[in-house]
Amino acid sequence: MEMKKEHKKFECKSCDYVCSRKFNYDKHILTLKHKSSILEMKKEQPLSCSNCGKEYKTTSGKWKHEKTCKVATRASIMNVLTANKELSQLLVKHQVEHQQTQERLLDHIKEQQKQIKELIPRIGNVTNQFNITVFLNDQCKEAVNWDDFLRTLQICDPAPESVMKLICDGIEDLGMYKRPIHCIDAKRNRMCIRNENVWQQETTKVQETIRQSNRILQEKCIGLLKQWEEEHPEWHTSEVDTEAYMDFVNNVMTEIDPKKCSHELAGKIHIE
């Protein structure tokens, strides 16, 4: 039985064209239809993720990837920073309102304190205050100012707890007569602080001095953030670096709480 000779097939997938003779195939690839089809294929752009740039062959593959793509873009980072700035402005506004409320309460508290002081033996208070004043003015003449002390700190970690520890260690290292802050009443957590070459003993003024000095710490932390950005120029393309950047920004924006600062220092700087 004679076997049928199998003819070879020539196929052009771009034009969906099939023939059995090479002569016809060669003739086809010279046609205008074929050349136009090839040109259109070259013009087609690859499907890529608008977030990370990864390319896909199908629209469905690209769509599935984009649902789970977590690489943050510069635009999304800027949106977060803008939101943080707005939050910071809102917190400042609330802080001002809170301070105004405190001032009104302070007048009421002062009146109560006046009545209470009449019940306290005057001689004891006067003597104690006199001794503290003599100690500060005579033995602590070379004490540094609070703001000047903060400017000497070498901050490596902007986290509030790390900055607070750095402050405590620095105060202890200065010694009793050069440090800018003392605890004069551990039971009531009363502090005195030196700034602009003047010792302040009134609680509200001490707290205000500590609160205002946050700007010095923030300036130092912002400088640290800029240094980190220079060391990680492609941070916005890495999920790990992006999270680290956001943590950095949050730490920079977090202020040292004056009351917490006083409490942390009280046990270390109490005048015996």
Per-residue pLDDT tens digits for 153-204: 999 888 888 999 999 999 999 988 999 999 888 788 888 999 999 999 888 8
Q: How far apart are CA 222 and CA 267, in angstroms?
A: 30
Question: Regarding beta strands 198-200 and 190-195, do their DSSP bridges make them parallel or antiparallel, or are they unpaired?
Answer: antiparallel
Phi, psi of 177 (to 5 degrees): -90, -10
Q: How far apart are CA 26 and CA 39, in angstroms?
A: 18
| DSSP, residue by residue, 165-218 | HHHHHHHHHH-TTT-SEEEEETTTTEEEEEETTEEE-SHHHHHHHHHHTHHHHH
| Residue 270 binned pLDDT confidence (cut-offs 50, 70, 90) | confident
Least confident segment among 71-80, 148-157, 224-233:
71-80
Q: How far apart are CA 155 and CA 162, in angstroms?
A: 9
Q: What is the pLDDT of residue 169?
A: 92
Q: What is the mean pLDDT of residues 4-9?
A: 65
Beta partners for 200?
Answer: 193
| CA pseudo-torsion sign 27, 31, 34, 40 | positive
DSSP 19: E
| Residue 89 binned pLDDT confidence (cut-offs 50, 70, 90) | confident
Q: What is the pLDDT of residue 28?
A: 85
Tens of pLDDT along 235-255?
888 888 888 888 888 888 888
Q: What is the pLDDT of residue 1?
A: 47
Cα radius of gyration (the chain):
36
| pTM metric for this prediction | 0.51
Share of the chain above pLDDT 70, in %: 78
Q: Are the beta carbons of 193 and 210 closer than 8 angstroms?
A: yes
Between 1 and 129, the more confident residue is 129
Q: Which of 106-110, 124-128, 214-218, 254-258 has maximum average pLDDT?
A: 214-218
Q: Check whether 123 has a pLDDT greater than 50.
A: no
Q: Among 116, 112, 195, 120, which residue's Cα sits nearest to residue 151? A: 195
Q: What is the pLDDT of residue 179?
A: 92
DSSP 241: H
Q: Are the beta carbons of 193 and 209 closer than 8 angstroms?
A: yes
